[in-house]
Structure 1
Amino acid sequence: MIRKILGIAAGMMWLVNGGVAQQRVVENINDNWSYLELPVEHVSEVKNKDGWTPISLPHSWNGEDAVDVIPGYRRSISWYKKSLSMDVLDNDKRYFLYFEGVNIKSSIFVNGQLAGDHVGGYIGFEIEISSFLQKGENEILVKVDNGYDREVIPSQKSDFFIYGGITRDVWLKSVSQTFLSDIKITTDKVSAQSATTLVELTLDGPLSKNQEVKVLLVDPDGQVVAQQTVKAEAKTSVKFKTNDPQLWHVDTPHLYEVKAELFNGKKLKDQVSDRFGMRWFEFQENGPFYLNGERLIIRGTHRHEEHAGVGPAMTNEMHRTDMELIKGMGANFVRLAHYPQDPEIYRACDELGILVWDELPWCRGGVGNDQWKTNTSQMLAEIIQQNYNHPSVILWSLGNEIYWLPDFEDGDHTNEINSYLKELNDLAHKLDPSRQTAIRKYYEGADIVDVFSPSIWSGWYSGTYENYEAVIDQSIAKYPRFLHMEYGGSSHVGRHTETPITGKGFVDPSKFEEEVNQVEVKSVAKSGDWSENYIVDLFDWYLSITENHEQFAGNAQWAFKDFGTPLRPENDIPYMNQKGLADRAGNPKDAYYVFKSYWSDEPFAYIESHTWTERSGPKGEARNVCVYSNSETVELFQNGNSLGVKTRDTKQFPAAGLNWDVDFVAGENELLAVGMKDGQEIVKDSLVITYSYEQAGSPSELVLSSEWLENGNYLVTVTAVDKGGLRCLDYEERVYFQCLGGGDLIKNQGTPTGSEVIKMANGKASIEVKPNDNPGPLKMTVLNQYFKGTFLNIDKSHAKEQL
């Protein structure tokens, strides 16, 4: 079994103390590793090599190079090394290394000997090292390879980076010779009145007649509500019945716990625990979704596992923050795209109340050869076995766009793909009859899996967003269990327009699917402005439909955060897919607040937009201003004067009716939005907009300025201005930052202030710069093909005085 009970995947760690010998010890060993970027195959070749650098885990060698300005990223072999000091080597103990994720193939050596291998970069695995250890110092070497290998999914043609490294936590576990190696918890009969829980335990090691297993059921309040003691066998199981269970729900994610104790006579030999939830769900045929017998609109998003500056090597705190932001906007569902993710994500989803679509990384590439099939089937088995106990998981996805761009000859043949897809579907149901299978954008296999998502990109890759309701009506009627995965579009932070391009007049509004070949397709994705305004309108329209549709199961927006991809070098931020509701560092864009206004119960108000504080237009021409809020009513003020109170109605567009036509005065306009409930003020938001009746002419120069930041760095901003000094709000050309001395650019982050090459947003772009300790000014320049160079010297003494 792959779901080894370390107390890690379950969110706990057992050290048995209080006068009893520590039979199970689980220790995090992320610190004090060394890294060698040397692409050699054999362990003998690295033993005496120079160039090792100290690191801590998680780590990826593609943390920055994936999104730098140089085409390509490192796809090769690297080595990791750690010394394990074993002052005491107990012959009655067994020792294991557990890796939460190594991307994408790995080999583990202990004292020069191969202890084990693993294929698949997104799944945890365990290697026993007992027979390789010696008293004293032990050398652990890990060979990691993210090089091209068409026999290992995901396909190299996927729209995301295949990062290399030990990208998640590593643990050292010591246990008794006989120990509890797996705990599987199934709640196959659940109702509001009662629930049946089957606990299946796997024991590893020699068994004797004196061994017993004690199993305890602990309720969400921490009380032991049932227990059984049974004879220890290789496969041991017990069953509990619970009356009036506290059900797991997205609003009340109650978690029970199973504790299992292994005894030899009266001596405790091992102890493990895992949490689970009691719940049931149903996709009604050609209709909505039900959780615990009540209709629930699935309100979702997607997540790629990466973050600015570190790529996939995220800390648990970073993972948790992502999920709290997702829950904070009111989402109750996340599709893990396009691979299983860090154990912290499943733990957070269990605790926060977020349903999970867990996905096998069969993303593009078609079907492969026999070795490819062996690897892929093994990955699916590992995913299910590892994540089985999580109540948040409701769907095992078998892939995404699986027929696209085949890696093998004839790999896109429907008969071959369907034959193998049926094998995977049968395997998933065999390993887990309690959940359903799914797939996205493979129409020929729609009737093989339980739940299907077609490709619907109305308003971006095809058609207009106003056609969305007609498309989902067609899909509900066509597919027995329809769940819409992926919709949205790209937005560049700070880019705004009074008249966003909608596609009307030049795209076919009836179309909705993304074409494989986009070269000749007319779409908003190709012709639009990538403004925050347009994508806000698109999401607003979608949500006004889905929140009021009686037969709709739900959907998931693509994607929560901007993420890196090798397929998009010419994007406004190079190599970034900018469809996120937040930037790559997790800072929310305007669109985040649209979802929060429809989904969240936490009172808030947000004037669109805090990144649109400089606007222009003819005198006397009113501009529409939206306030996104979940308040019953909102009153908007301009320079202290009330513009009226409006009542929120989700059937109205835009902003559920919370929008006002504002006649801006020249100069500063202070807007104040006050949200009310039962006539009482509960939230407010304010914004100052500088308005001009004069439209800027053609850009005349690029002007550099700087702002000192509290972290000691500088934010250097370039602004395009005309001959009269007016900011050119429609200038969007690419600019190139350089630091000529006195500091270093904070670059290769894939963020609006962390890219040395970036397109401007309303005539402005910025980058963060870290000053060094050398005397003299910080020297900056910016240029593009039209402006050959603007220079700025920053006196760093100001920063030293501030610090």
Structure 2
Amino acid sequence: MAGAFPDAAAAQLLPDRVLVNASGRAGTDLSGPWNWSVDPYRDGVAGFHGEAPGRTHQRYADVDVDAETRKDPYALWELDMRRAPVTSLPSSWITHDATMRYYDGLVWYQRRFEAAPRPGERQFLHFGAVDYRASIYVNGALVGTHEGGFTPFALEVTGKLRAGENQITIGVDSERSNDTVPPTVTDWETYGGVIRPVRLVTTPATYVDDAWIRLTGAGRIRASMTLDGPSAAGRPVRVRIPALGLTLSGTADSQGRWTGEAAAPRALKRWSPESPTLYDVRFESGEDVLSDRIGFRTLEVRGTRILLNGKPIFLRGISLHEEELGKEPTRAITPAAARALLSEIKDGLHGNFVRLAHYPHSEVMTRMADELGLIVWSEVPVYWRVAFARPETLAVARRMLAENILRDRNRASIALWSVANETPVSEPRNAFLTTLVRDVRALDDSRLVTAALLTRRDEKNGRIEMVIDDPLVAQLDVMAINTYNGWYSGDRLEALPAIGWRSGATKPLILSEFGADAKAGFLDAGLRRKFSEEFQAEYYRQTLAMADSIPFLAGMSPWILKDFRSPRRQHPVYQQGWNRKGLISETGERKQAFGVLADYYSKRTPDSR
């Protein structure tokens, strides 16, 4: 993948391997029961004098402690991972035990699995996401580490597995600092743990590591493949779409890469929210065949409009955190959980768009958006107080962005890559985000780039005007603004429609956030106080009236579909550790504002301004 970036130094920030569509490959799902052990003093990392941990403190040691103590009654072991408590993964530890509710630190997970390695095959451990840092041990030996709580990574374990039983141990450290991405202070729950599936993947010696196919603006099908292995150079490759009778073929270059294209068949049906058509696509090279379900569409910006398949579209959306419905979400998104959430948007709100905030969501979610027909905004957690002047933090953000894009480039639903949320303007910040924008364009020229920005408020002669003057706008395809007039400001709700909006750029605008808290069931028709359903509903009516006066508005994703956990939110009556800006409660109860937005979207078209 190094060739995707214009210079070698930047290419070093790409993952060593992509292992795209790992869930569709031969292998073993390691979901299910795992032993776990909390380690608040990091005893499994270092002794109390700072020395390396002794064998009897190594939670990753390849040993049967009970058998050892039977052989030597004087042996002292103060841990035994094989007999530690059991939980089911993927899952965050917030739901393992009530005492883990606000734990922020190191936890160890371990299980045993059967393997039968054969000559001519390679084995990889693929992790959907581990929040936040991961150290992976196989049969007692460290095989790799990863930083970043929401993107996939793969580690090769060829030659490290034995026939029969093997042991895998994961050290998961959720602790963040001012230097991490995101930093310590956020407005969502830190779901430490192994939050997405772990899979043992088997491939041929030379295999298809990355594969990407898309429809160009010129109406051509373009496919790219990257092979990995001893026979990658000069190897024949082929891409087939059987339902369209299309075959692209060629030969990989000296670095195992190939790109080819052909005119799109006339029979091609373009993906759209109204018709989310997906095709079976086969990427083939030698004995390796990688299949996927992929849609084809085009995206562009023309003036202040966003065009999907050459036609203007208004993005009728809402934002969403990665939490399943229920009183005890654990951030383990199944297809059923994804369908339940996204169907509320598509069918309940009459929406066509979802902002997956504030980090890359599960691949299960983006694949479900493909299937249901929802346009997706995908972002990385460059959020609030990032250490913009620190090169190491930039490197983490760039790798995270690359891992996100490389995982999801085949998802037709994704239209927007976002590089940041609510970051105050400064020279270091501008340079940091400009670098991320350049990376997006180098990795994916088929989508639009945006960021959720702050805005300036001007008041003159009693008139309020929101001014979009962030210097990053010049680098973006689509402007996006988070605005909370009437909630985080003293504005009366009835004054919101008169608020004006101004921008010096001729670009489309998305209102990426606006919202008001309401506790489901709290009705206060008399006073219509904040946190009542009536206040939230009226806030939506008046904010939507304001939105209708913005001539360059191309879409919106109000904050937020569902109430979500946030330790910042501690009002003892209305919040209790939940951000209540959802249009539905954490269990799915619809609030009055849900109907307000649904009615608005049922009537909204690109030209209904």
Q: Normalising by structure 2, what TM-score?
A: 0.82
Aligned to 2:33: 32
**What is the rounded CA distance, in whole Å, between the counterparts of 2:21 and 2:447 in structure 1?**
24
Which of residues 518, 521, 532 in structure 2 aligns to 1:494? 521
Aligned to 1:597: 599
Instruction: Please say if 1:118 is aligned against 2:146.
Output: yes
Counterpart mapping for 1:205-354 below 5 A = 205-207=229-231, 211-218=235-242, 223-233=243-253, 234-244=256-266, 245-263=268-286, 269-285=287-303, 287-307=304-324, 308-328=327-347, 329-354=349-374
**What is the rounded CA distance, in whole Å, between the counterparts of 1:567 and 1:171 in structure 2?**
35
Amino acid at match of 1:373: L
Counterpart mapping for 1:504-653 below 5 A = 528-543=529-544, 546=547, 551-570=552-571, 572-600=574-602
1:92-114 deviations in Å (ceiling 9; x for gaps): 11011111110011011101111
Q: Which has the larger radius of gyration?
A: 1
- Assess, with a 3 A threshold, how the Cα gap between structure 1 residues 593 and 276 changes in structure 2: closer, same or farther: same
- SS of match in other structure, 2:231: coil
Counterpart mapping for 1:455-474 below 5 A = 455-462=482-489, 463-471=491-499, 473-474=500-501
**What is the rounded CA distance, in whole Å, between the counterparts of 2:244 and 2:19 in structure 1?**
21
- SS of match in other structure, 1:351: helix
1:446-476 deviations in Å (ceiling 9; x for gaps): 33333222332122112234444444x5246
- SS of match in other structure, 2:240: strand
Which of residues 220, 223, 227 in structure 2 aligns to 1:203? 227
- SS of match in other structure, 2:366: helix
**What is the rounded CA distance, in whole Å, between the counterparts of 2:526 and 2:307 in structure 1?**
40
Question: Are the equivalent residues in 1 in contact too, given 2:421–2:453 (CA < 8 A)?
Answer: yes
CA shift at 1:559, angstroms? Answer: 0.6
- SS of match in other structure, 1:258: strand
**What is the rounded CA distance, in whole Å, between the counterparts of 2:522 and 2:231 in structure 1?**
67
1:641-699 deviations in Å (ceiling 9; x for gaps): xxxxxxxxx99xxxxxxxxxxxxxxxxxxxxxxxxxxxxxxxxxxxxxxxxxxxxxxxx
- Assess, with a 3 A threshold, how the Cα gap between structure 1 residues 231 and 423 changes in structure 2: closer, same or farther: closer
Instruction: Please say if 1:58 is aligned against 2:81.
Output: no
CA shift at 1:481, angstroms? Answer: 2.9
- SS of match in other structure, 2:403: helix
1:402-431 deviations in Å (ceiling 9; x for gaps): 23xxxxxxxx7x111112222112111111
**What is the rounded CA distance, in whole Å, between the counterparts of 2:580 and 2:233 in structure 1?**
61
CA shift at 1:324, angstroms? Answer: 1.5
Amino acid at match of 2:484: W
**What is the rounded CA distance, in whole Å, between the counterparts of 2:269 and 2:495 in structure 1?**
42
Counterpart mapping for 1:715-794 below 5 A = none
- Assess, with a 3 A threshold, how the Cα gap between structure 1 residues 28 and 208 changes in structure 2: closer, same or farther: closer
Uncovered stretches (5+) of structure 2, i.e. residues with no partner: 2-14, 46-52, 66-78, 455-469
**What is the rounded CA distance, in whole Å, between the counterparts of 1:35 and 1:124 in structure 2?**
22
Instruction: Please say if 1:73 is aligned against 2:73.
Output: no
- SS of match in other structure, 2:553: coil
- SS of match in other structure, 2:508: coil
**What is the rounded CA distance, in whole Å, between the counterparts of 1:468 and 1:256 in structure 2?**
46
Q: Normalising by structure 1, what TM-score?
A: 0.63
Counterpart mapping for 1:316-395 below 5 A = 316-328=335-347, 329-366=349-386, 367-395=388-416
Question: Are the equivalent residues in 1 in contact too, given 2:212–2:409 (CA < 8 A)?
Answer: yes
- SS of match in other structure, 1:138: strand
- Assess, with a 3 A threshold, how the Cα gap between structure 1 residues 568 and 126 changes in structure 2: closer, same or farther: same
- Assess, with a 3 A threshold, how the Cα gap between structure 1 residues 458 and 29 changes in structure 2: closer, same or farther: same
- Assess, with a 3 A threshold, how the Cα gap between structure 1 residues 110 and 543 changes in structure 2: closer, same or farther: same
> Where is the helix percentage greater, Structure 1 or Structure 2?
2
1:364-417 deviations in Å (ceiling 9; x for gaps): 1131422212111111121121211211111111111223xxxxxxxx7x1111
**What is the rounded CA distance, in whole Å, between the counterparts of 2:522 and 2:96 in structure 1?**
25
Counterpart mapping for 1:163-182 below 5 A = 163-182=191-210
**Structure having greater relative contact order (Cα 8 Å, sep ≥ 6):** 2
- Assess, with a 3 A threshold, how the Cα gap between structure 1 residues 591 and 421 changes in structure 2: closer, same or farther: same
- Assess, with a 3 A threshold, how the Cα gap between structure 1 residues 469 and 280 changes in structure 2: closer, same or farther: farther
Question: Are the equivalent residues in 2 in contact too, given 1:500–1:529 (CA < 8 A)?
Answer: no
Amino acid at match of 2:257: K
Question: Are the equivalent residues in 1 in contact too, given 2:279–2:295 (CA < 8 A)?
Answer: yes
Amino acid at match of 1:241: A
Instruction: Please say if 1:453 is aligned against 2:484.
Output: no
Instruction: Please say if 1:427 is aligned against 2:454.
Output: no
Amino acid at match of 1:580: G
- Assess, with a 3 A threshold, how the Cα gap between structure 1 residues 368 and 78 changes in structure 2: closer, same or farther: farther
**What is the rounded CA distance, in whole Å, between the counterparts of 2:147 and 2:248 in structure 1?**
39
The count of residues paired between Structure 1 and Structure 2 equals 537
Question: Are the equivalent residues in 2 in contact too, given 1:475–1:482 (CA < 8 A)?
Answer: no
Instruction: Please say if 1:416 is aligned against 2:428.
Output: yes
Question: Are the equivalent residues in 2 in contact too, given 1:38–1:79 (CA < 8 A)?
Answer: yes
- SS of match in other structure, 1:557: coil
CA RMSD in angstroms, aligned pairs only: 2.7
Amino acid at match of 2:411: H
Amino acid at match of 1:54: V
- Assess, with a 3 A threshold, how the Cα gap between structure 1 residues 444 and 551 changes in structure 2: closer, same or farther: closer
- Assess, with a 3 A threshold, how the Cα gap between structure 1 residues 342 and 105 changes in structure 2: closer, same or farther: same
Pick which of 37-46 and 180-189 moved more. 37-46
Question: Are the equivalent residues in 2 in contact too, given 1:111–1:138 (CA < 8 A)?
Answer: yes
Amino acid at match of 1:563: F
Aligned to 1:104: 132
Question: Are the equivalent residues in 1 in contact too, given 2:21–2:407 (CA < 8 A)?
Answer: no
- SS of match in other structure, 2:32: coil
- SS of match in other structure, 2:110: strand
